[in-house]
Structure formats: structure tokens, C-alpha cells
């Protein structure tokens, strides 16, 4: 009994927020970004970035799953046998993803329909699994939780940049709000046709290869300013 | 029969898992540095995809669905069940291959466990549900998806081997170039959208 109490006190005192914890949150945003540096979770990042709204929802969903799967795995880390840890981790992740999916279906049905299988694919999103293996299995719950949030945010950041670029140039809008080119109300009420054609939406940006190019450009810019990330081989 | 070939062609080329849905990108980018390993992983994916998708279809249809053996709608358990099926089947395949053909096991060995978390497999299983295929169609879809993925990773590995001899700007070296190449290949594959699947009927 005394032992249990001791552990509890230790865990509670670990709820600090100092320099280390701040680093856990800020590191994945740039130096250790899940997508552009660790190359984890690329799959879904590319498929859901045609619209900014989809990317934001996906970012929130992934942050939730990474944070809580890190937390739960870290709490259970001393009880999970080494041989079957993969299956235990997968069950934790699958449980959280099911929660997210059902919640999203109830709250915002159109977006759920849009994201289709990609919410389910968070299960095999390598970020979640990668962080569990690399961090949560070896660290305390509170720090693992922060690490999960940090990595989820790093992922969301890249997703939002890609989606904003693609939606802006592919549809001329952001969050369905027209930015480049005339709005549809203007089109209905005008007779002046010469103004209409100054920007034609670039359909390539909506197609999947464009996501690849945008990521490549992000990597290029990031590594230009952050020389230590450059691939030497 | 024509319908099955149609689905095979469609899933292998037109709706390529790797290049038009970007599934399995993690291993796609990480394991595509040499053609030899790419072929190994490609074969493993064809193998596992061709097995798990019909398997998941059977489970979904006879166990989870409303008309299934348990008599209730358990489809909300799909994610957990599917991923466990994949993990279990990969483990099983690994053991069988090790017993039956040690040489094949040695060439696939490391890649088989990797495949459990390859989103191409789970993604294909979920697409099989949303597209409402029947059993034989899901077999064809599984094999086609695997072949398409294998084709894509072997092709990009070959290109990346050649890229080593060219001068790429330092920040783009490695990962950046891999992304650019995948994008260009995706564009090339989009040319295959012109194939009329009805012609194979």
C-alpha cells in the first residue's frame, strides 16, 4: 500500500512544466518534425489536404490520438510484455481512433464523409506507432502526453500549410471563402466578362501529385534554413 | 470474369494505392533505396494484401455484419478487428513461409512484420468496405492493389538508384528528391486514367 502511495506522489510531482517540457512541445514543430524530418505519417498527410477544413479536422484527430495513446501506453508500459507490445499498442490506438471516428460522425457528418477511410487509417499512421515505440515505452506519462501533443501539432502544422497552399491555388479559396478570383455572387450579378478570367483555378493543385511537390518544397525551404537537417549521404 | 479483370486493372493502375491514394508512403519512401529490397517488400505486400482483404471480407460479412453469425451490428468494431486480423495473418504467413520455403522467408523476412503497420493494407481493407465488393471482387481487388503498390515501389527504387549519380541541391538531397519523384510518378500514373476498364469486359 505504501508503495502505491509513493508512486502516486512521484507521478503528481512530475506534472511540472519547465524547459524540458517546453522542448517536447516545440521540437516536433521544426527540428524533429514528424513529416519532414522523421518521415512518419506521410500517407494520410497527402490524401486529406485538398481542403483546409479537412486538414484541420485531421490535425485535431491525430493530435488527440497521439496524445492519449502516448499517455495510456506510458501508464501501462511496465505491465506490457515485450513480445506482444505491438498488439497491445495497436488495440489502444484502434480504440482511440474508433472513439474519434464515432465522435466525428456524430458532430460533423459531411466532414466525416469527406475523410472517409482516412480517419480509420490513423491506426496505421506511423507517427502514432513511432512515438509509442520511441518515446512512450520509455518515459513517464506526463512527458509522453506532452510529446504526443507536440508531435500531433507538428503534423497538423505541415498539414495546414499543405492544405492552405493547395486550396488557395487549386480553388482560389480558403475554408470555402473565396480569396482569389470573383465570388459566385459577383458572377451572377455582373455583365462584365473581362474581369472573370484573370485567375483560373489550377486543377493540378487539387490532384494528388501536387501534395508531393508542396511537401518537397517545404522540405527544401526548411533544410535551406536548418542546415543540420541536410542529408549528407 | 470480365468484371474481376476490370477491378484488377482498375486497382493496379488507375486507382494505384501508392501513387493516387498515397497509402503505405512511410515504407514506400524508406525502403525504396535499392531495387532488390523494393522487390522483396513488393512481393510481401502482394502476398499479404491478397490474403487479408478476402479474409477481412469474410469476417466483416459473417461476423460483424447485421446478418452475421452473432446476429447484431458490430461494424463499429471494424478498425480493431481488421488491424488484429492483419497482425495475426502476417504472423501466420510468416510462420508458414518459414516452414515451407526458407529461401523465400529469408528474402521476405524483415519486411513481413513491417507490413502490419503499412497503411496500404488497412486502407485497402477499408476501401473494400466502402466500395461494397462481393467476395470474388475483393480477392481481385486485393491482388490488384498489391500488384499496383509493388509496381510503384520497384519503379521508384530504380529511379532513386539512378538519382545517386546526379547533382541535386543539398537541401533537396534524399527525402526531398524522393517526394518530388513520387509526385512526378503520380502524374505519369494519372495518364493511365485514360484506360477504359469496360474494354476488358
> If you average pLDDT over residues B61-65, what whole number do you get?
80
Chain A partners within 8 Å of B131 (Cβ): none
State mean pLDDT over B15-31.
80
CA distance A45 to A125: 10
For A175-217, write each residue's pLDDT tens digit: 767 766 665 566 566 666 555 556 666 777 777 788 888 888 8
Handedness of CA B49, B50, B56, B57 (dihedral sign): positive
Residue in A101, A106, A123 to test binding to B, most B beta-carbons within 10 Å = A123
Nearest to B186 among A87, A129, A212 (CB): A212
% chain A with pLDDT above 70: 79
Q: Is the complex ipTM more than 0.85?
A: no
Assign B107 a pLDDT band (cuts: 50, 70, 90): low
Which residue in A has a C-alpha nearest to residue B84's C-alpha? A87
Q: What is the pLDDT of residue A187?
A: 59
CB of B2 within 8 Å of a chain A CB? The answer is: no
pTM confidence score: 0.77
- Alpha carbon separation from A32 to A60, A215, B29, B44, B135 (Å, rounded): 19, 15, 18, 31, 44
- B34 touches A at CB < 8 Å: no
Using pLDDT thresholds of 50, 70 and 90, give the confidence band for residue A1.
very low
Instruction: With beta carbons under 8 A apart, name residues in chain A contacting B80.
Output: 91, 94-95, 98
As given in the structure block, the three cell numbers for residue A110 are: 459531411
Please name the residues between 164 and 193 in chain B that touch chain A, using a CB distance below 8 Å. Answer: 169-177, 179-180, 182-184, 186-187, 190
**B25:A43 CB<8 A:** yes
- Please determine, for residue B108, whether its predicted confidence score (pLDDT) is greater than 70: no
* Joined grid coordinates for residue B9: 486493372
Higher pLDDT, B73 or B141: B141
Averaged pLDDT, A26-35: 76
Q: Determine the pLDDT at residue A110.
A: 84
CB-based burial of residue B117 (10 Å sphere; 0-12 exposed, 13-18 middle, 19+ buried)? buried
| A172 secondary structure, DSSP code | S
Average pLDDT, chain B: 81
**Residue B43: CB partners within 8 Å, gap ≥ 6?**
B108, B150
The whole-number average pLDDT for the span B135-158 is 90
A119 closest CA partner among A53, A44, A51: A44
Residue A88's pLDDT is 82
Query: Which residue is associated with the grid cell 490474403?
Result: B51
Query: Considering CB atoms only, which of A43, A91, A209 is closest to B119?
Result: A43
Query: Chain A contacts of B186, Cβ < 8 Å?
Result: 208-209, 212
Report the pLDDT value the prediction gives residue A9, as an integer from 0 to 100.
45
Residue from the list B22, B83, B130 with its beta carbon closest to the beta carbon of A46: B22
pLDDT at residue A13 tops 60 = no
Q: Least CB-CB distance to B173: which of A91, A102, A230?
A: A230
A172-176, B40-44, B48-52, B127-131, range with the lowest pLDDT: A172-176
Q: Are A170 and A210 in contact (CB under 8 A)?
A: yes
**Residue of B47 and A12 predicted with greater confidence:** B47
For residues B47 and B180, the answer to whether their CB atoms sit within 8 Å is no
pLDDT tens for A123-166 read 777 778 778 877 878 888 888 888 888 888 888 888 888 888 88
A-facing residues of B in 93-122 (CB < 8 A) are 116-119, 121-122
Q: Where does chain A have alpha helices with state H?
A: 2-13, 19-26, 42-47, 52-76, 85-107, 109-115, 117-120, 126-134, 141-171, 184-189, 208-225
Q: Which of A98, A125, A219 sits opposite B179 (nearest CB)?
A: A219
CA distance B35 to A186: 55
Grid cell of B6 as nine digits: 476490370
pLDDT band at B66 (very low <50, low <70, confident <90, very high): confident
Is residue A128 within 8 Å of residue A51, measured between CB atoms? no
Q: Is 70 exceeded by the pLDDT of residue B65?
A: yes
Burial grade of A161 (CB within 10 A; 0-12, 13-18, 19 or more): middle
Per-residue model confidence as pLDDT tens digits over A52-91 = 888 888 888 889 988 998 898 888 888 877 767 777 888 8
Is A216–B77 a contact, with Cβ atoms under 8 angstroms apart? no
- Alpha carbons B76 and B115: distance in angstroms, whole number: 24
Which residues on chain A are in Cβ contact (under 8 Å) with B117? 124, 126, 129
Name which of A158, A120, A46, A153 is nearest B22 in CA terms: A46
- Judge whether A68 and A61 are in contact, CB under 8 Å: no
Find the helix or strand (DSSP H, E) in which B17 lies: none
Interface test with A, best of B20, B24, B25, B112 (most A CBs within 10 A): B25
Residue A178 C-alpha, separation from nearest chain B C-alpha, in angstroms: 27
Indicate the pairing of strand A173-174 with strand A177-178: antiparallel
Amino acid at each position: 500500500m505504501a508503495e502505491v502511495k509513493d508512486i502516486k506522489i512521484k507521478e503528481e510531482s512530475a506534472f511540472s512544466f519547465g524547459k524540458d517540457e517546453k522542448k517536447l512541445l516545440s521540437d516536433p514543430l521544426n527540428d524533429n518534425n514528424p513529416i519532414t524530418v522523421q518521415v512518419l505519417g506521410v500517407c494520410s498527410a497527402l490524401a486529406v489536404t485538398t481542403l483546409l477544413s479537412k486538414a484541420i479536422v485531421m490535425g485535431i484527430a491525430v493530435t488527440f490520438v497521439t496524445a492519449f495513446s502516448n499517455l495510456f501506453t506510458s501508464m501501462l508500459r511496465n505491465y506490457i510484455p515485450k513480445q506482444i507490445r505491438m498488439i497491445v499498442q495497436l488495440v489502444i490506438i484502434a480504440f482511440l481512433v474508433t472513439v474519434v471516428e464515432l465522435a466525428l460522425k456524430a458532430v460533423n457528418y459531411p466532414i466525416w464523409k469527406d475523410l472517409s477511410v482516412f480517419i480509420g487509417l490513423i491506426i496505421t499512421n506511423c507517427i502514432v506507432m513511432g512515438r509509442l515505440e520511441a518515446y512512450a515505452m520509455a518515459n513517464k506519462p506526463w512527458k509522453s502526453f506532452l510529446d504526443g501533443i507536440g508531435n500531433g501539432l507538428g503534423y497538423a502544422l505541415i498539414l495546414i500549410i499543405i492544405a492552405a497552399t493547395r486550396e488557395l491555388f487549386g480553388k482560389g479559396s480558403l475554408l470555402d471563402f473565396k480569396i482569389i478570383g470573383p465570388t459566385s455572387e459577383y458572377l451572377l450579378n455582373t455583365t462584365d466578362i473581362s474581369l472573370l478570367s484573370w485567375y483560373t483555378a489550377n486543377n493540378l493543385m487539387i490532384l494528388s501529385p501536387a501534395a508531393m511537390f508542396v511537401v518537397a518544397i517545404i522540405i527544401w525551404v526548411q533544410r535551406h534554413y536548418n542546415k543540420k537537417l541536410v542529408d549528407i549521404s | 470474369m470480365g468484371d474481376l479483370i476490370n477491378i484488377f486493372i482498375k486497382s493496379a493502375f488507375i486507382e494505384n494505392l501508392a501513387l493516387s491514394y498515397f497509402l503505405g508512403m512511410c515504407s514506400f519512401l524508406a525502403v525504396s533505396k535499392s531495387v532488390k529490397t523494393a522487390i522483396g517488400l513488393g512481393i510481401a505486400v502482394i502476398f499479404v494484401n491478397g490474403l487479408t482483404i478476402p479474409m477481412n471480407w469474410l469476417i466483416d460479412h459473417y461476423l460483424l455484419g447485421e446478418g452475421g453469425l452473432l446476429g447484431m451490428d458490430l461494424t463499429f468494431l471494424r478498425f480493431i478487428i481488421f488491424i488484429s486480423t492483419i497482425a495475426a495473418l502476417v504472423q501466420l504467413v510468416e510462420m508458414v513461409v518459414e516452414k515451407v520455403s526458407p529461401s523465400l522467408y529469408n528474402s521476405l523476412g524483415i519486411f513481413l512484420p513491417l507490413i502490419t503497420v503499412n497503411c496500404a493494407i488497412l486502407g485497402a481493407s477499408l476501401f473494400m468496405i466502402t466500395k461494397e465488393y462481393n467476395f470474388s471482387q475483393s480477392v481481385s481487388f486485393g491482388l490488384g492493389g498489391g500488384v499496383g503498390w509493388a509496381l510503384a515501389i520497384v519503379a521508384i527504387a530504380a529511379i532513386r538508384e539512378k538519382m545517386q549519380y546526379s547533382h541535386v541541391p543539398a537541401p533537396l538531397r534524399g527525402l526531398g528528391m524522393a517526394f518530388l519523384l513520387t509526385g512526378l510518378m503520380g502524374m505519369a500514373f494519372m495518364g493511365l486514367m485514360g484506360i477504359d476498364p469496360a474494354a476488358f469486359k
